Amino acid sequence: MEVLKGSSTTKSTTHAPPLHTLEFSRLKFFNRVFATVYTCAILALLYHHALTLLNSTTLSSFFITLSLLISDIVLAFMWVATQSCRLNPIHRKEFPENLKRVVKESDFPKLDVFICTADPYKEPPMGVVNTALSVLAYDYPTEKISVYVSDDGGSQLTLFAFMEAAKFASHWLPFCRKNNIVERNPEAYFASNNSWSSEAEKIKTMYHSMKIKVENVVKRGKVGDEYIIGEEEQKAFNKWKDSFTRQDHPTVIQVLLQNSKDKDIIGHLMPNLIYVCRQKSRTSPHHFKAGALNVLLRVSATMTNAPIILTLDCDMYSNDPSTPLRALCYLFNPQDQLKFGFIQFPQIFNGINKNDIYACEFKRLFQINPVGFDGLNGGNYVGTGCFFSRRAFFGGPSKLVSPEIPELGPYNVVDKPIQSQPIMELAYKVAGCNYENQTKWGYEMGVRYGSLVEDSFTSYRLHCEGWKSIFCNPKRPAFLGDAPNTLIDMLNQQKRWAIGLFEVVFSKFSPLTFGIRSMGLPMSLAYAHLGCWAIWSIPVTIYAFLPQLALINGISIFPKVSEPWFLFYVFLFLGAYGQDFQDFIVFGGTVERWWNDQRIWMIKGLTCYLFGFMEFFLKFLGISTHGFNVTSKVIDDEQHKRYEQGMYEFGVPSPMFVPLVTAAIINLLSFFWGLEEVFRGSKLEGLFVQMFITGFVVVNSWPIYEAIVLRSDKGKIPIRTTLISIFLAWGLVAAASLTLRS
Ligand SMILES: O=c1ccn([C@@H]2O[C@H](COP(=O)(O)OP(=O)(O)O[C@H]3O[C@H](CO)[C@@H](O)[C@H](O)[C@H]3O)[C@@H](O)[C@H]2O)c(=O)[nH]1
Ligand SMILES: [Mn+2]
C-alpha cells in the first residue's frame, strides 16, 4: 500500500498521520493480459468479415456481411475504448479522523454548497428542503458553511418551503449534533428510526407539521396570505406578480439564514442559507443547469467566495455528516493547493427495487469505470456529490483565467456582511440573464456550455486543462439520490444523456481529436467511450433484426458450429459478457441485477440510444432542438407498487417502445420458426448462432411479452403500440423475404 504524497512528504509534516492511501487493483495484470488476447480475437473476426465481404456473390449477402462488419466495428471500438478503465484501477481510503491532528478546525476552509432544483411539481420542495437540511447539518464548523439553492423553477412554493426549513433548521441542527445522529436528512431519519426519546418525538411533530404546511401550499399552487408573517417575507413574495412566469421573471435572492446573526435554539451560530432564483427572459439562453450553476458560482463569489464548492442535485442528500472532512483529506494540502481540481463521490440511489429492473444503479458508470478513470487522471465529474476547488473553474492549474470583474475571482476575499447593500446589488447584477454576454462564462470559465450533459463536458474540459481529480468511494455512501422509477422516465433521461454525450464527441473539443492532444490516449478513450453511448444503437438494432430475418428465410449468416470461426464467436461473446459479469460481482452486484443490467443495455440500444442518435442528427442539421427534460422525482402509488413487484412500466404510448416491441415480436416469430424446423428434423448446424441469438433475445424479452398479452394493469403496453409494432414486424418480414432470397 502506498501512501500518497501531500500528506507525508514535506519535512514539517513527516510524522503526520496519513490522510489518504491508495491500493492498485489486483485485477490490473489479468485485465491487461486478457485485453491483449481479446484484441487478437477481434482482429481475427474483422479479418474474417473482410474476407467474406470480398467473396460475397450476391448483393444481399454483401449487405448482410457489411452490416455485420459495421456492427462488429462499433462493438470493437466500444470495447477497446473501455479498456482504458481497466488499465489501472485503483482503490482509495481516507482517514478523516486524522485530519484534526494535521490541521486546526479553525483553519478549515469555507465551504459553499450548491443545490439545484428546477420544477416544484417534478421535484417536490420537501425533497429539496431535506437535501438542504442534510448538508446544513454537516459536522463542519457551521459558520464556514453556506448553502445556496438555485431555483430554476422560479417558484414561490420552493421559496416558501425554504423559509419554513430555515426555522426548522434551528431545531434540527442542534438535535443532530447533540444526539450524534448520522442520518441528517429528516425524512430519512424519521422513516428509519423508531426508538424515540421525547425530544425526538417533539422534533418529529415539528417536522411533520412543516411538511403538511408545505405540501398544502404546493397543492394549492400559491402561498396564501395566512402563511406570510412579517414584512420581510411579504416583500419577497411580492416579486411574484402576474407577469412573473417560469421563463420570464426578475431575479429573487433571499438570505434565509445568516451566520453572523442567526442562532439555533441553543445559541450556536447557523450556517448561511441563500435562495437564488436567477433572472430569466425568453430572449436570452439560460443554458439549463450549467447556466444555473454559473449563476451560483458568481452569486456565491460576491457573498462568501469559499475556496471549496460542493455541487448537489436537489435529490442527492447527504448520508454521512463527515463527508466534507473526507473531501478535505485530499483538498487540504498546504504545500500544493492546486493538486486536485475536484473530488467526486459516486451517485448511489435509494429506493431501487430488489433486482433493479431498469438498471438505474448504473454500477458501471458510477462505480466501476470511475475507479479506472481514477487510475489515469482522476474520477470524472457526474453532476452531483462533487467537491470542487473553486479555482478549477477559472482555467487550468497553471493558467488562471480572470473573470471580467475582480470580485468574482477565486482568490477575492469578501469583507462585507452578505446582506449589506453593495453585496446584494452585485449579487443581483451577476444573476441577471444578460450578464454573461461577451464574457468567458461557460466557455473558458465555470461550468461549460454546449452539451446537455454539462457535468460530463465540464469534467472532460477540466481534465483537458490539466486538472487531476479523485474518485472517493467510502463504505457508507456519502450521498443518496433518486433514480427514475418508470421505464419511460429512465429512457427519457438516457436519451438526454446520449444526446448530450454525443454533443461532446461532435464538438470541436472531441475526445478523439482535441482530447488525445490534451491528455493522451487512455484518458481520452475513456471519455470517448462515455461519449459514444448512442452508437451502441447500431449493433444492437442490427443484431436484433438481421439474424432473425435471415433465420426465417433459412439463410445462414454466421459460421457453422463445426467451423473454427465459430469458436471465435463463442470466445468473443463469453469474454465480453464474462468480464462484464465479473466486474459487476466484484463491485458487490448480484446475478439478478447483472442480468437486468445486460437486458437494459439491449433495450436502450433499440430505444433511447436509437432515438438519441436520430435526434442528435436532426439538431445537427438544424431541423430540431432539444432541451433538458427534468426527471420526475414524484412517486405514483400504483406505479410504485408495480415497480416493487418488479413489473415493467410501459403505460404511455411512446414512439420509443415501437422498435422494442417490434424486435420482440420478430424474435419470437423467428425462434418458433427455428424450433419448428428442428422438430421437422432439419439440420440447423449453419443456423445455430442465429438460433442462439434469437433465443437469447426471446428470453430477455419476457417482460415485453408479458406486458403485451398477460397483463391488464395500467402499466401494460398500450394496444396502439402493439398494433403498430405487429404491422411493422409484418412489413419487415415481408420485405426480408423479398430481398434476402434474391
Ligand atoms: O434547467 C434546469 C434543468 C435541470 N436542473 C437541475 O439539474 C439536476 C439534474 O436534473 P435531473 O432531471 O435529476 O437529471 P438526471 O438525469 O437525473 O441528472 C444527471 O444528469 C444531469 C445531466 O444531464 C446532471 O446534471 C446531473 O447531475 C446528473 O445526476 C436537478 O437538480 C435539476 O433541478 C436545473 O437546475 N436547471
Ligand atoms: Mn436526477
> Given this model, what pLDDT does residue 17 score?
85
- pLDDT confidence band for 682 (50 / 70 / 90): confident
Confirm whether pTM is higher than 0.90.
yes
How far does the centroid of ligand 1 lie from the alpha carbon of residue 347, in Å? 13
CA distance 440 to 38: 45
Q: Tell me the average pLDDT of the chain.
A: 93
Which ligand 1 atom is the nearest neighbour of the CA of 483?
Answer: 17
Q: What's 273's DSSP letter?
A: E
CA separation (Å) from 468 to 97, 341, 453, 683? Answer: 24, 6, 20, 59
Atom of ligand 1 nearest to the CA of 630: 12
Catalytic residue from among 152, 374, 489, 597: 152
Beta bridge partners of 93: 21
Report whether 187 belongs to an annotated binding site.
Answer: no
Contact assessment for residue 315 and residue 441, using Cβ atoms and an 8 Å cutoff? no
Q: How far is the CA of 289 from the centre of ligand 1 (A)?
A: 6
- Mean pLDDT over 289-306 rounds to 98
Separation between Cα atoms, residue 592 and residue 437, nearest integer Å: 51
Nearest CA residue ID for atom 36, ligand 1: 289
- How confident is the model over 202-236, as pLDDT tens digits? 999 999 999 999 999 999 999 988 888 888 889 99
Beta bridge partners of 387: 310, 343
pLDDT tens per residue across span 257-297: 999 899 999 999 999 999 999 999 999 999 999 999 999 99
Please tell me the predicted confidence (pLDDT) of residue 230: 86
- Measured torsion, CA atoms of residues 100, 101, 104, 105, in degrees rounded to the nearest 10: 10
Q: 152 an active-site residue?
A: yes
Strands laid side by side in the 308-313 sheet: 252-257, 272-277, 145-151, 111-117, 308-313, 386-389, 340-344, 468-471
Residues 155-190 pLDDT 10s: 999 999 999 999 999 999 999 999 999 999 999 999
Instruction: Out of 310, 628, 629, give the residue to mutate to test ligand 1, the one with the largest number of ligand atoms within 8 Å of its CB.
Output: 628
CA distance 236 to 225: 13
In the structure, ligand 2 is a single-atom ion and the residues with CB under 5 Å from it are: 631
- Is residue 580 flagged as an active site residue? no
Compute the radius of gyration of the chain from its Cα atoms: 28
Cell numbers for 21, please give them: 492511501
- Residue 429 has a pLDDT of 97
**Distance between Cα 135 and ligand 1 center (Å):** 19
Position 589 pLDDT exceeds 90: yes
**pLDDT grade, residue 102 (50/70/90)?**
confident
CB 716 within 8 A of CB 650: yes
Task: Spot the catalytic one: 112, 264, 315, 455.
Answer: 455
Q: State the helix-helix crossing angle for 487-505 and 608-620, rounded to 10 degrees.
A: 40
What is the number of the ligand 1 atom nearest to the C-alpha of 315? 31
Q: Could you give the ipTM of this predicted complex? A: 0.99
Res. 1 pLDDT band, cuts 50 70 90: very low
- The answer to whether 186 and 133 have CB atoms below 8 angstroms apart is yes
List the chain domain ranges.
121-321+402-439, 535-739
pLDDT bucket at 340, cuts 50 / 70 / 90: very high
Q: Is 112 annotated as a binding-site member? A: no
* Residue among 655, 550, 661 nearest 603 (CA): 661
Following CA atoms 251, 254, 259, 264 in sequence, which dihedral angle do they give, to the nearest 10 degrees?
A: -160
Among candidate residues 23, 60, 70, the one with its CA nearest the CA of residue 541:
70
Establish whether residue 343 lines the binding site of ligand 1, counting it when its CB lies within 6 angstroms of any ligand atom: no
Does the C-beta of 292 come closer than 6 Å to ligand 1?
Answer: yes
